[in-house]
C-alpha cells in the first residue's frame, strides 16, 4: 500500500489499442514473449487485433484481482450513512461518519451528492448545469471548453436517426429527457443503451479534439431528482475545472447589406445580447449589441459585405431564452481535513465533517475514478502471458508460432502461458476486510 513506485514497474504506457498498446502490456512485449517478429498492420494477427486482445485481457485481470491498475470510472454508487460521532464533537480533525467504497485506490471523487432532507447537494469537483427548454431543438451544438480558452469539444445536434446520426452527435428528436440521455452518452463516450432502440445507434458515442477525448476530461449525468437537468463535472483536479466553459450555439438564416450593423434574423426571441456572431462577411469579434425587434438585432461591428444565409450565434456561460438555462462551471469541492469531506484514497474511504446527509438510508450517491497509479511487474507479466496465450489459441497452424526444438506443441505452450498468468493473478487478489467504526 505504501509503495509509490518500483524500478520493476511497467511504465511504457502510451495507450492506443488500435496500435497494440494497452495499460498493462503492449505488442512488443507480447511478440518478445512469443519470440516472433513485431506485429504490424500487415501481420496476422495485426497490431490492432493484438490491441483488442490486450483490452479484453485487462478487463479480465481487473475482474480477477478485484482492483484495477488503470483509471476506471464508477458511476452512481448508493451508500447508507451512519452517524459515528456527534457533529458538535468532531470539528477539529474528526468526522461525523464515513463510507467505504466498493473499490480501493481512489483517484478522484467526481460527484458526491448527499441528501439533506429535501434535495441533494453536490460536494465534489467543479460542476456545470444545462437545462434544456421548450425550443431546445433549435440548438445547433453544445460546446465544452477547457480552461484558458483551450480545446473545445463541440457536440452537434441531429434530428435524424439510423445511419444519418453520427457517433459524435446527439439526437434531439424524441424529447428533452431522451435528448439528455443522448448528451450523457456522448460526453461519457458510452454506447447509448437508453436511446439506441429509438435512434438505431449501433456503436458507442465518440468525440475527440486533436489527441484528447471528451470523456477523459468531463463526466455527465442526469439530475436524479429532475431528469430535464444535466449535471456536467470536470475531471480536472480540484477547482481547476471551474475555469471550463459551456457554450450554446444556434443557427438562423439571416440577411444584411454591406457596411451595416443591422442584421435581419429569423427569430430574435432565441437570442441574447452578448452572443458571438459568426458567418460570411461578419467580423470575427462581432457580438449582439442590442435586440431591436422580433426580426432585427444590432451588431457590435459592421458587416464587411452582404450577408445572406446561415449565421451562427454563440452564448458562453450564458442562458439562451427558450433554448437552455446554463449554470457555468463552479467549484463545489472543499476537500480537506477541516472541510466538507476528506479521503483516505488507498483504502477507498470518504469521511464527512462539515457537510453530511441528514438521513441514513441511500442518502449518498457517489461517482468516482479509481485504479492503482502503478502497474507492478507481476501484472505486466501476467497480462503479457495471457495475451500471448490468447494469440496461440487462435493460431490453428504453426506458421506464425513455430514449435520449439524441444517439440513443445502450440497447445502445450498455450496451457503453460495461461496457467502461469492465472497463477500470478491468484496471488494478487485483494482480501475483503471489515472496518470497525
Verify that 392 and 408 share a domain, yes or no. yes
Verify that 160 and 88 share a domain, yes or no. no
Instruction: Say if residue 150 is preceded by a cis peptide, omega within 30 of 0.
Output: no
Segments of the chain with pLDDT less than 70: 1-2, 87-93, 395-407, 429-437
Show the domain range for 347.
Answer: 80-123+334-370
Verify that 172 and 192 share a domain, yes or no. yes
- Give the pLDDT of residue 408: 72
Q: Does residue 21 lie in a domain region?
A: yes
H or E, element range at 54: helix 47-65
| Set of cell numbers at residue 146 | 477547457
Verify that 238 and 93 share a domain, yes or no. no
Verify that 327 and 204 share a domain, yes or no. yes
CA distance 252 to 268: 10
The reported pTM is 0.87
- Give the pLDDT of residue 404: 54
- Give the pLDDT of residue 434: 45
Give the pairing type, strands 152-158 and 169-171. parallel
Verify that 62 and 145 share a domain, yes or no. no
H or E, element range at 234: strand 226-234
Verify that 141 and 229 share a domain, yes or no. yes
For 210, other C-beta atoms within 10 Å of its C-beta total 6
Verify that 327 and 302 share a domain, yes or no. no
- Pair 41, 48: CB distance under 8 Å: yes
Q: Does residue 317 lie in a domain region?
A: no
Q: What is the pLDDT of residues 322-337, one digit of tens each?
A: 999 999 999 988 888 8
The number of folded domains in the chain is: 4
- Give the pLDDT of residue 398: 43
Q: Does residue 168 lie in a domain region?
A: yes
CA distance 91 to 336: 12
- Give the pLDDT of residue 60: 95
- Give the pLDDT of residue 343: 94
Q: What is the pLDDT of residues 63-96, one digit of tens each?
A: 999 889 999 999 999 999 988 877 666 666 688 8
Verify that 347 and 386 share a domain, yes or no. no
- Give the pLDDT of residue 94: 81
- Give the pLDDT of residue 406: 58
Pure H helices in 156-254:
176-187, 196-199
Q: Is 178 in a helix, a strand, or coil? A: helix
Verify that 149 and 33 share a domain, yes or no. no
- Pair 384, 376: CB distance under 8 Å: no
Amino acid at each position: 500500500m505504501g509503495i509509490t513506485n518500483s524500478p520493476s514497474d511497467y511504465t511504457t504506457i502510451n495507450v492506443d489499442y488500435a496500435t497494440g498498446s494497452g495499460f498493462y502490456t503492449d505488442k512488443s512485449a507480447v511478440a518478445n514473449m512469443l519470440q516472433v517478429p513485431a506485429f504490424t498492420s500487415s501481420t496476422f494477427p495485426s497490431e490492432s487485433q493484438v490491441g483488442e486482445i490486450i483490452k479484453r485481457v485487462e478487463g479480465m485481470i481487473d475482474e480477477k484481482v478485484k482492483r484495477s491498475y488503470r483509471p476506471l470510472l464508477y458511476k452512481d454508487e448508493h451508500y447508507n450513512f451512519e452517524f459515528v460521532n456527534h457533529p458538535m464533537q468532531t470539528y477539529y480533525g474528526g468526522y461525523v461518519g464515513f463510507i467505504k467504497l466498493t473499490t480501493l485506490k481512489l483517484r478522484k471523487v467526481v460527484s458526491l451528492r448527499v441528501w439533506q432532507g429535501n434535495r441533494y447537494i453536490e460536494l465534489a469537483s467543479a460542476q456545470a448545469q444545462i437545462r434544456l427548454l421548450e425550443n431546445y431543438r433549435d440548438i445547433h451544438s453544445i460546446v465544452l471548453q477547457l480552461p484558458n480558452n483551450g480545446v473545445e469539444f463541440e457536440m452537434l445536434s441531429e434530428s435524424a436517426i439510423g445511419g444519418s446520426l453520427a457517433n459524435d452527435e446527439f439526437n434531439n428528436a424524441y424529447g428533452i429527457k431522451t435528448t439528455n440521455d443522448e448528451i450523457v452518452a456522448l460526453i461519457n463516450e458510452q454506447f447509448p443503451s437508453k436511446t439506441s432502440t429509438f435512434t438505431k445507434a449501433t456503436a458507442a458515442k465518440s468525440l475527440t479534439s486533436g489527441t484528447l477525448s471528451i470523456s477523459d476530461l468531463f463526466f455527465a449525468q442526469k439530475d436524479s431528482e429532475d431528469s430535464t437537468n444535466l449535471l456536467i463535472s470536470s475531471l480536472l483536479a480540484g477547482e481547476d475545472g471551474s475555469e471550463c466553459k459551456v457554450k450554446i450555439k444556434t443557427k438562423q438564416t439571416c440577411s444584411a447589406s454591406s457596411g451595416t450593423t443591422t442584421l435581419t434574423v429569423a427569430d430574435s426571441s432565441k437570442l441574447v445580447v452578448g452572443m458571438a456572431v459568426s458567418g460570411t462577411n461578419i467580423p470575427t469579434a462581432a457580438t449582439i449589441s442590442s435586440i431591436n425587434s422580433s426580426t432585427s438585432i444590432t451588431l457590435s461591428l459592421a458587416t464587411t459585405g452582404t450577408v445572406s444565409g446561415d449565421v451562427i450565434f454563440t452564448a458562453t456561460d450564458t442562458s439562451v431564452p427558450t433554448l437552455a438555462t446554463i449554470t457555468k462551471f463552479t467549484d463545489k469541492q472543499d476537500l480537506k481535513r477541516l472541510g466538507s469531506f476528506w479521503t483516505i484514497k488507498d483504502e477507498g474511504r470518504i469521511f464527512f465533517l462539515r457537510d453530511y446527509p441528514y438521513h441514513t438510508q441511500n442518502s449518498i450517491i457517489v461517482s468516482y475514478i479509481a485504479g492503482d497509479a502503478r502497474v507492478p511487474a507481476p501484472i505486466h507479466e501476467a497480462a503479457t502471458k495471457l495475451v500471448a496465450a490468447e494469440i496461440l489459441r487462435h493460431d490453428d497452424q504453426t506458421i506464425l508460432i513455430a514449435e520449439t526444438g524441444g517439440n513443445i506443441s502450440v497447445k502445450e505452450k498455450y496451457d503453460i502461458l495461461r496457467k502461469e498468468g492465472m497463477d500470478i493473478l491468484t496471488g494478487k487478489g485483494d482480501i475483503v476486510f471489515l472496518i470497525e467504526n
